[in-house]
Amino acid sequence: MTTRVSIGDRGRPRIRSESGHIRRRMVNALVLGMTGVMTLVALIPLFWIIGYVVYRGGRYINLDFFLHMPTPLGVAGGGVLHAIQGTIILTVLSAIFAMPPGVLAGVFASRNPQHPLSVAVRFSTDVLSGVPSIVVGLFVYALVVKQQGHFSALAGGVALAILMLPIIIRTTEEMINLVPKTLREGSLALGASEWKTTMSVVLPAAANGLITGFLLGLARASGETAPLLFTALGNERLDAWRMVSSGIAAGQNPISAIIRLVEQPVDSLPLTLFKYSQQPYPERIDQAWAVALVLMILVLLVNIVSRLWVEYRSAKLQG
């Protein structure tokens, strides 16, 4: 077979048989075009969900929604103050439980990268992040709820902390690895001890990245429902602020008032959303959409802001 070499209309030589060449070019264009279409199709649900939640939820959001406790069915108005308070309580508790051990384990792994324990930490972090959140709920039920004999915010906080822990460990390790070695060496050469170097030089230098990672972890935890179903359980009647403030007014020590609060079952935004969505009453469904909007704004805002911040920081470091 002879190979025809010809000059194409644009003056480029075309080698090989015309038809095979054209077919290959066409397959190439077709398949590559399809990947673009697939990307667009994959993103449809994102815009569909965001758009619909804004459309349905936006109509039922007002100031009362944030400031009032739920009203009984049939009574107009009412809000989800209990769930907002609950989400805050659970998030704060989980941050308190997860951050110290998470940061310290991350420090260890980045300080001793080859140490067998570090490898084990990395591996179990990866595995832990794949454990289904409902199983985390079962674990915390057996660990905390069963021992205490009742559902509580404490148990919910522990469950969310376990979900956050892998994110915190991984972020800490990565961010510390980004801190220039010279900073650490400078501090050590000045005679500072290892722990002081870490606490006052390395961690502050990594603070920006750490905070971003923690926020992402918190956002993720605050959207979780499954592990709370049988740990924090839900509690429509608890007005946390009133409980603590009236407790203090009655002469209770603030710390014991807070401990009493943490022993109560609490609601959270995703839990409320789930429960309302299972009810046959249209007004509860409307409120569920409004809760979805609040939750979505919370989660997306944290995600977008922290990503922008990371981009901005890395652009600044490079430029």
Partner 1 sequence: MQRPAWLNQLNHLLDHGDRPWRGLLLASVALVLLLLIGFAILLWTTSADSRQAFGWAFLRPTLDASWNAVSGEFDAWPFIYGTLITSFAALILAVPMSLGVAVFLAELAPNWLRIPLGWMVELLAAIPSVIYGLWGIFVFLPLVVAPVGGFLNQAFNGLPVIGALFAGPVPQSGSSRLAATLILAIMVLPTIAAVSRDVFRAIPGSQREAALALGATQWEMIFQVLIPYGMSGILGAVILGLGRALGETMAVTMVIGNSLEGSASLLRPGYTMSSVIANEFAEAVTKLHTSALIEIGLILFVLTLILNAIARLLVWRVANPALQGKRA
Task: For the segment 69-98, give every residue that binds partner 1 (CB under 8 A).
Answer: none
Please tell me the distance from the alpha carbon of residue 61 to that of residue 291, in angstroms, as a whole number: 9
Main-chain dihedrals φ then ψ at residue 165, nearest 5 degrees: -50, -50
Main-chain dihedrals φ then ψ at residue 198, nearest 5 degrees: -65, -50
Confirm or reject binding of residue 215 to partner 1 (CB under 8 A).
no
- Tally the C-alpha atoms within 13 A of residue 126's C-alpha that lie toward its C-beta: 5
Nearer to partner 1, 146 or 242 (CB): 146
Residue 296 C-beta: closest distance to partner 1, Å: 6
Confirm or reject binding of residue 304 to partner 1 (CB under 8 A).
yes
Strand partners, 6: 14
Cβ proximity of 292 and 53 under 8 Å:
yes
Confirm or reject binding of residue 188 to partner 1 (CB under 8 A).
no
128-147 binders of partner 1 (CB under 8 A) = 128-135, 137-139, 141-143, 146
Q: What 3-state class would DSSP assign to 7? A: strand
Residue 245 C-beta: closest distance to partner 1, Å: 28
Confirm or reject binding of residue 195 to partner 1 (CB under 8 A).
yes
Please tell me the distance from the alpha carbon of residue 206 to that of residue 204, in angstroms, as a whole number: 5
For partner 1, which stretch binds (CB under 8 A), given 5-13, 69-77, 85-93, 273-281?
Answer: 273-281
| Single residue of 14, 68, 220, 284 touching partner 1 by CB under 8 A | 220
Confirm or reject binding of residue 305 to partner 1 (CB under 8 A).
no
**Total interface residues for partner 1 by CB under 8 A:** 94
Give buried/exposed letters for 107-122 (b at 16+ CB in 10 A, else e): bbbbeeeeeeebeebb
Confirm or reject binding of residue 270 to partner 1 (CB under 8 A).
yes
Residue 84 C-beta: closest distance to partner 1, Å: 15
Main-chain dihedrals φ then ψ at residue 136, nearest 5 degrees: -60, -40
39-68 binders of partner 1 (CB under 8 A) = 39, 41-43, 45-46, 48-49, 52-53, 56
